[in-house]
Chain A
Amino acid sequence: MSTCTARNILAVLLIGSAFRSAEAQDPRLTNRLDAPTRKALSALIDSARVQGIPVEPLMEKVYQGLAMNADGARIVVAVRSLTHEMGNAHRVLGSVATTDELKAAASAVHAGVPAVELGKMKKQSGLRRSLTLPFTVLADIVSRGVPVQTAANAIRSLVGAGAKDKDISDFQRNVSVDIEKGAQPAAAAETRAKGAVVPTSKAENHEHE
């Protein structure tokens, strides 16, 4: 057992169950979920914490399920799936990834993007560049029908070219509008990616005009 895992297990022992703490503070969990569901969720969330996966997004998923009137079994499936996706993201992005990056990365994995693609982007972009927005946009365009590899290439090229979050946000908006107007998703993503990044010097000159 690694030192890190042992430390995480000890943390769970000492701090107690995150789910049980939430139960004590939020009556929705006890009023709306039956005992077996609560037990399953508690086990899933504690297991995630032992693996070093942030548990806040998992609790948010539980609350979303409750708000949307999902039954206990469905909530457990959703939380298990998210735990798995965040675990995959955590493995490829490493401990430098923030909770938000992991959450966005899990979204991309859920949409069908292989976790290794996300790891490549993280390596390419460097440690300081947050990929929360690029991962969010990646998940979005894949869910709009852009093929996974095309979408990953587009986002990777944008990040690699030094695109700022605003550029990537504009790219997402343009691609979604193009698709709504009837464009082929792949063609929309490829074409918009080519024009998404204005070289910094030109952009600065343009701003001064």
Chain B
Amino acid sequence: MPDWGRTTLELMVQELQHPVRLDESFDRRVMVRVRRLYAERRRRGIVGWLGAAVNITRRPAWAAALAAGVVAVVSAGIVRGGGHPGTLSTGETIPVQFVLVAPDARSVAVVGDFNNWGLGDTALVAVNHNGVWSVSATVRTGVHRYAFLVNGKQWVADPTAPRAAGDDFGQPSSALVVEGSSQ
């Protein structure tokens, strides 16, 4: 490669390696564009069905008390969005309800792949309804690993959901498959 070519490439690499920083209004601006696009398409009748995608077929099942004797868990496991076949929009999000029966818990949060396992701002904090803790969240279609965090220290898998194979970090976790509308 001639010298001028290598220099140019090095400059390109150097420039492209700078991290892209997104300002705080980025999400808002993207969502405004998405909503506008959605409204236009809906007017044209192409994906008018999309509004029905909030229908969830949830498969709750009650589970046994855990070894700690504290909690029994019920949750999403596998959920499916509504809609018509053949019209999947890539990366769509589906509302999912996570439920944990934990009468003695002082706090319950849900963390997983869908929120980058964030224990801070992005944790889904469940609300206590007489020992039944629940939280709803929109989760991107796909397969996610997740777990409940009880009282900020005890990791609990969802016994109603498939197990995530391998407790790499000595803690249990579950698998959640969120299907798109067309599947």
Contact = CB atoms under 8 A, between A and B. Distances in A.
Contact of B168 (A13, A61, A169, A180): A61
A144 B159 CA distance: 11
B61 A173 contact: yes
A64 B117 contact: yes
A168 B36 CA distance: 38
Contacts of A26: 116
Contact of B12 (A14, A25, A61, A70): A14
Interface string B133-147: 000000000110100
A110 B143 contact: no
Nearest to B182: A130
Given A13-B13, A81-B168, A169 B59 contact: yes
Contacts of B118: 63, 67
A203 interface: no
- Interface-central residue, B57, B118, B169, by most chain A CB under 10 Å: B169
A68 B155 contact: yes
Contact of A64 (B20, B64, B169): B169
Interface stretch (B39-47, B98-106, B173-181): B173-181
Interface residues of A, number: 51
Nearest to B153: A69
A165 B85 CA distance: 14
A68 B169 contact: yes
Contacts of A108: 165
B61 A16 contact: no
Contacts of A173: 59, 61, 77, 160
Contact of A143 (B13, B19, B163): B163
A99 B165 contact: no
Nearest to A135: B143
B94 interface: no
A165 to B, nearest CB: 6
A60 B142 CA distance: 13
Contacts of B179: 133, 165
Contacts of A123: none
B111 to A, nearest CB: 6
Contacts of A64: 113, 117, 145, 168-169, 173
A139 B162 contact: yes
B138 to A, nearest CB: 17
A103 interface: yes
Given A14-B13, A132-B142, A136-B143, A60 B116 contact: yes
Interface of A: 13-17, 20-21, 24-26, 57, 60-61, 63-70, 74-75, 77-78, 81, 99-100, 103-104, 107-108, 110-111, 130, 132-133, 136-137, 139-140, 142-144, 165-166, 169, 172-173, 177, 180
Given A64-B168, A139-B162, 14 more contacts: A14-B13, A14-B16, A60-B117, A61-B168, A68-B155, A69-B169, A77-B168, A100-B142, A103-B143, A107-B175, A111-B166, A139-B175, A143-B163, A173-B61
